Amino acid sequence: MMVSDNTHEWKKVHPASVFINLVPQLIRILRGLWIIILVLFFSEENQNIFDTSFFFILLILGVYRTVVHFLTLRYRLVGNFLEIKVGLFYRQQRRLDVARIQNIELRQNPLHKLFHLSELHIETAGSSEEGLLSALRIEEAELLRDQIIEQKEIPESPSQQEPSITLNTVDLLLYGVTSNQVGTVVVLSAIGSEVLSLINPRTAQEIASNISLQNAIGIILLSFGFSWLWSCLKAVLKHHRFTLSMSEYSLQTIDGLITKRKVEIPREKVQLAMLIEPWLRRLVGYGTLRIETAAFGIEDGHIRKTEAIIPMVERENFSSFLKKATPQLDADPWNDTLHPAHPKALYRGIARGFLQSIIPIAVLMFVFRDQSYALALISLSVLSVPLSILDWKGQGWLITPNSIVSRRGYLNRKTWVIDRNKIQSIHVYQSPFMRIHNLAHIVVSVAGTEIILPDISLEDAHENYANLNRQWRFAVVKKNHKQSSSLLSSDETIPFDETTIDTEIIE
């Protein structure tokens, strides 16, 4: 392998970093303090605190951070390690093992584009803020990425990569419209009313007493409208010109209008695929596919799971697409028949749904503070019963030789397909209510996520649990086998022992 001479020198980020990162830094700081700012802005008394000096302090903080970042950040790639050191008073030096890197992301905000630069995020399992190089020339960033990928011994073959999926603006608008909105509206209105009554109780009282039923319905419709508009806007901004390309070793997605994101996920790191079908999206025959790794990253100041999201996939293409994206998973939840949930799980579903629907209704009653609608609102919670029945009907699970499938939810149906080789631990869970009906469910935990399977009888749960545990032995054997006999080709696997894995567990 050829390594150029300057690889071992410490390298800096581009000087434009100071300027480019100032605005995002300030936004991040403002976002962190939004409640304080809101309170200061709306409070009746302490108007004088909220003056220019406050902004001035924030500005200095932002400048300080970006300048320190630029002045002190050095990085280099030595052998199998990427070393990054940063910090003025609190110094950090990190050595990232290249083999542990889960994915590499290139991001460009408009300022980056102006200077022909790019931001490089390197994410490893579990931790959140390892490896951020805020401004590199694009060639430099791509070179570094290629070097890392080369170290990982993943032969990159760009000629083979063809865009498998591209989405246009119409698709994205549809994606925005079909997102679930009810939750957002309820939560936002609850927070809004709480904040209002905290800051300015008199106005809140006035609004609450003057509200009529027609006005209330109008407000709700209006907030749904805004929420739709907002999610359409967000979808278009976030996923503008979405393309997904797949090579033999990795998946790559490129999207974004303001901030361009380029996510590269090595296939061996894929832990699970998840298909999300909110009811509106299901109605028009689409779903969203998410492919997750173990990494956590920070985006816009929020910790989120790193994943490739394919916003809109047609229903006919679900299984063929899943097969293409994750060939190691042998389950096909849309053609195989899934095992249903236990009949008695319906009782639990109904009780649970009823209790859950009481909470938003209680919030609504609290917002309107009018007892005359109470009965009407409570009768709304009866609606949760048919929803629970539909949810229960849709539930399903399946265990195949190398994957686990779980499907739950009606309004926001989700189907998980987990790679069994990535399982960290398995749990069986039983609550008192479930014990009455002799139910239990299996919880599978992979790095960073827990997936709950539908309720089944305790005996079945324990039988499946034992079967899943038997694969631990298999995994260890396979590993030892690989180590001891290096003469064998790497793709050689031991055939499954018929007795260890039982796919037809209940009938």
Distance between CA atoms of 219 and 427, rounded to whole angstroms?
45
Q: Which of 466, 488, 494, 506 binds other proteins (CB under 8 A)?
A: 466
Report CA torsion sign: 19, 24, 25, 26. Answer: positive
CB of 126 to other proteins, least distance (A): 5
Q: Which of 216, 315, 465, 502 binds other proteins (CB under 8 A)?
A: 465
Contacts 24+ apart (CB under 8 A), 152-161: 152/98, 152/99, 152/101, 152/266, 154/249, 154/250, 154/266, 155/249, 156/247, 156/249, 156/250, 157/247, 157/248, 158/247, 160/247, 160/248, 161/245, 161/246, 161/247, 161/252
Q: Is 438 in the site for other proteins (CB under 8 A)?
A: no
Residues from 216 through 245 that contact other proteins (CB under 8 A): none
> Cα 39 from chain centroid?
31
Which among 410, 359, 414 has a CA at the least distance from the CA of 187?
Answer: 359
Q: Between residues 23 and 125, which has the closer beta carbon with respect to other proteins?
A: 125
Residues from 91 through 120 that contact other proteins (CB under 8 A): 102
Q: Between residues 179 and 306, which has the closer beta carbon with respect to other proteins?
A: 306
Q: What backbone torsions phi and psi does residue 256 show, to the nearest 5 degrees?
A: 115, 140
CB of 414 to other proteins, least distance (A): 18
Stretches 146-154, 184-192, 251-259, 472-480: which one binds other proteins (CB under 8 A)? Answer: 472-480
CB of 435 to other proteins, least distance (A): 8
Q: Is 298 in the site for other proteins (CB under 8 A)?
A: no
| Rg of the chain taking only CA atoms, in angstroms | 26
Q: Which of 147, 402, 421, 467 binds other proteins (CB under 8 A)?
A: 421
Q: Is 136 exposed, middle or buried (0-12, 13-18, 19+ CB in 10 A)?
A: buried
Please list the alpha-helical segments (H only) found in 44-108: 52-72
Stretches 27-35, 197-205, 256-264, 455-463: which one binds other proteins (CB under 8 A)? Answer: 455-463
- The site for other proteins, by CB under 8 A, has a size of 37
Report CA torsion sign: 298, 300, 304, 306. Answer: negative
Q: Is 486 in the site for other proteins (CB under 8 A)?
A: no
Distance between CA atoms of 397 and 405, rounded to whole angstroms?
5
CB of 448 to other proteins, least distance (A): 6
Q: Which of 8, 324, 435, 481 binds other proteins (CB under 8 A)?
A: 435
Q: Is 447 in the site for other proteins (CB under 8 A)?
A: yes
Distance between CA atoms of 358 and 19, rounded to whole angstroms?
50
Q: Is 448 in the site for other proteins (CB under 8 A)?
A: yes
Q: Between residues 116 and 435, which has the closer beta carbon with respect to other proteins?
A: 435
Q: Is 446 in the site for other proteins (CB under 8 A)?
A: yes
Q: Which of 112, 238, 262, 269 binds other proteins (CB under 8 A)?
A: 269
CB of 10 to other proteins, least distance (A): 29
DSSP string, 241-253: T-EEEE-SSEEEE
Q: Is 422 in the site for other proteins (CB under 8 A)?
A: yes
Q: Is 445 in the site for other proteins (CB under 8 A)?
A: yes
CB of 397 to other proteins, least distance (A): 17
For residues 247 and 201, the answer to whether their CB atoms sit within 8 Å is no
Report CA torsion sign: 208, 209, 210, 212. Answer: positive
Q: Which of 459, 488, 496, 506 binds other proteins (CB under 8 A)?
A: 459
Q: Is 126 in the site for other proteins (CB under 8 A)?
A: yes
Q: Is 464 in the site for other proteins (CB under 8 A)?
A: no
| Tokens linked to 3 | 């390594």
Q: Is 436 in the site for other proteins (CB under 8 A)?
A: no
Q: Between residues 324 and 435, which has the closer beta carbon with respect to other proteins?
A: 435
Q: Is 476 in the site for other proteins (CB under 8 A)?
A: yes
Q: Is 426 in the site for other proteins (CB under 8 A)?
A: yes
DSSP string, 213-251: HHHHHHHHHHHHHHHHHHHHHHHHHHHTT-EEEE-SSEE
CB of 268 to other proteins, least distance (A): 10
Q: Is 425 in the site for other proteins (CB under 8 A)?
A: yes
The DSSP element (H or E) to which 85 belongs, if any, is: strand 81-86
Q: Is 437 in the site for other proteins (CB under 8 A)?
A: no
Which among 283, 398, 427 has a CA at the least distance from the CA of 338?
Answer: 398
What residues make contact with other proteins under the rule CB under 8 A?
102, 125-126, 269, 271, 293-294, 421-432, 435, 445-448, 450, 458-459, 462, 465-466, 468-469, 472-473, 475-476, 479
